């Protein structure tokens, strides 16, 4: 679902900042002060207090990454985990279009290439004054990652040439818009299907830490709401959120392809 060309509404209200605490936080604070249109985006070249999943910090060095947050007003009861899968699918399309490579997705929302993570997605949401979601994406775009971070990479490192952050945003915004509109009109199924095609998680032996504790088994599928279904003998346990690591024979972070 590659859509080249400009987006129509996503990113039209665009705030560009050289350096910021957290792009998610900038949008959140603006929402407290005024009515912010759907698709409003904040793009920064550096974050000093970038936030990751599970309360972690997101290392956001200057010159290397694209740090972007987009405000959406999803239909009530329809957001859940699927929005972060949707963002991953859109990012995968954009990176494929730009590089010709085949990026993968590791459940729930790590974007991977060459067995390493090049981007993470953090979706924050609420219902006041109406259902909202901020999709935050931290994408390692330029340069190379030092050897001491063997689980991380950049798009440029994988492509073997410098990828430009503007070009990535110009491709990502229409891809995200197209997938969001498709989700609004067709529901979760096409997103789940595209996610499955890009998945590096399904079919692997995994270890998950969910609210109920540690679960190990084979990652069999995702449910249509985005939950990971882990096979344990005759039972399939849905994991809605949490941390999942792949138990690969080579001890790597993700499969190479």
Site string for ligand BTN, 98-127 (x = CB under 6 A): ------------x---------xxx-----
User: Is 3 among the residues that bind ligand BTN (CB under 6 A)?
Assistant: no
d(CA 45, CA 141): 11
Is residue 171 close enough to count as binding ligand BTN by CB under 6 A? Answer: no
CB closer to ligand BTN, 122 vs 163: 122
Handedness of CA 247, 241, 59, 115 (dihedral sign): positive
Q: Does 140 bind ligand BTN (CB under 6 A)?
A: no
92 near ligand BTN, judged by CB under 6 A: no
Q: Does position 64 bind ligand BTN by CB under 6 A? A: no
With CB under 6 A as the contact rule, the residue among 7, 22, 171, 199 that binds ligand BTN is 22
Q: Which of 3, 39, 41, 58 binds ligand BTN (CB under 6 A)?
A: 58
Nearest approach in angstroms of CB 131 to ligand BTN is 20
Closer residue to ligand BTN, CB minimum distance, 22 or 99: 22
Nearer Cβ to ligand BTN (6/49) = 49
CA-to-CA distance for 172 and 63, rounded, in angstroms? Answer: 19
84 contributes a contact to ligand BTN by CB under 6 A: no
Q: Under 8 Å CB-to-CB from 98, ≥6 apart: which residues?
A: 155, 159, 163, 167, 168, 171
> Which 3 state secondary structure label does DSSP give 65?
strand
d(CA 116, CA 134): 25
Residue pair 111/119 in contact by the 8 Å Cβ criterion = yes
51 lies in the site for ligand BTN, by CB under 6 A: yes
- Contact assessment for residue 39 and residue 70, using Cβ atoms and an 8 Å cutoff: yes
User: Coil, strand, or helix at residue 63?
Assistant: coil
Least distance in angstroms from the C-beta of 23 to ligand BTN: 4
The smaller minimum CB distance to ligand BTN, of residues 122 and 178, is found at 122
Residues annotated as part of the active site: 53, 117, 247
Asked if 66 and 165 count as a contact pair (C-beta separation under 8 A), the reply is: yes
The yes or no reply on residue 23 touching ligand BTN (CB under 6 A) is: yes
Residue 250 β-bridge partners: none
For ligand BTN, the binding residue among 13, 36, 46, 52 (CB under 6 A) is 52
Q: DSSP 3-state assignment of 123?
A: strand
Rounded CA separation 235/202 (Å): 16
Q: For binding to ligand BTN (CB under 6 A), which residues are involved?
A: 22-24, 47, 50-53, 56, 58, 67-69, 110, 120-122, 136-138
């Amino acid at each position: 679902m590659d859509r080249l060309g400009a987006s129509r509404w996503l990113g039209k209200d665009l705030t560009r900042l050289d350096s910021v605490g957290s792009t998610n936080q900038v949008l959140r604070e603006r929402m407290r002060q005024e009515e912010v249109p759907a698709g409003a985006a904040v793009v920064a070249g550096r974050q000093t207090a970038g936030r990751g999943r599970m309360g972690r910090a997101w290392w956001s060095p200057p010159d290397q990454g694209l740090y972007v947050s987009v405000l959406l007003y999803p239909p009530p009861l329809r957001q859940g985990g699927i929005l972060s899968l949707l963002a991953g699918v859109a990012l995968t399309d954009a990176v494929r279009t730009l590089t010709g490579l085949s990026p993968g997705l590791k459940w729930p929302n790590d974007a991977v290439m060459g067995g390493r993570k090049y981007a993470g997605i953090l979706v924050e949401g609420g219902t006041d004054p109406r259902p909202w979601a901020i999709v935050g994406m931290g994408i390692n775009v330029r340069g190379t990652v030092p050897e001491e971070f063997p689980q991380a990479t950049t798009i440029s490192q994988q492509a073997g040439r410098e990828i430009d952050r503007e070009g990535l945003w110009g491709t990502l915004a229409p891809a995200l818009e197209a997938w969001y509109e498709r989700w609004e009109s067709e529901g979760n199924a096409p997103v789940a299907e595209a996610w499955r095609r890009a998945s590096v998680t399904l079919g692997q032996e995994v270890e998950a830490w969910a609210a109920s504790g540690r679960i190990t088994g084979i990652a069999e599928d995702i449910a249509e709401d985005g939950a990971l279904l882990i096979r344990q003998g005759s039972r399939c346990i849905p994991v809605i959120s949490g941390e999942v690591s792949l138990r690969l024979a080579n001890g790597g972070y993700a499969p190479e392809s």
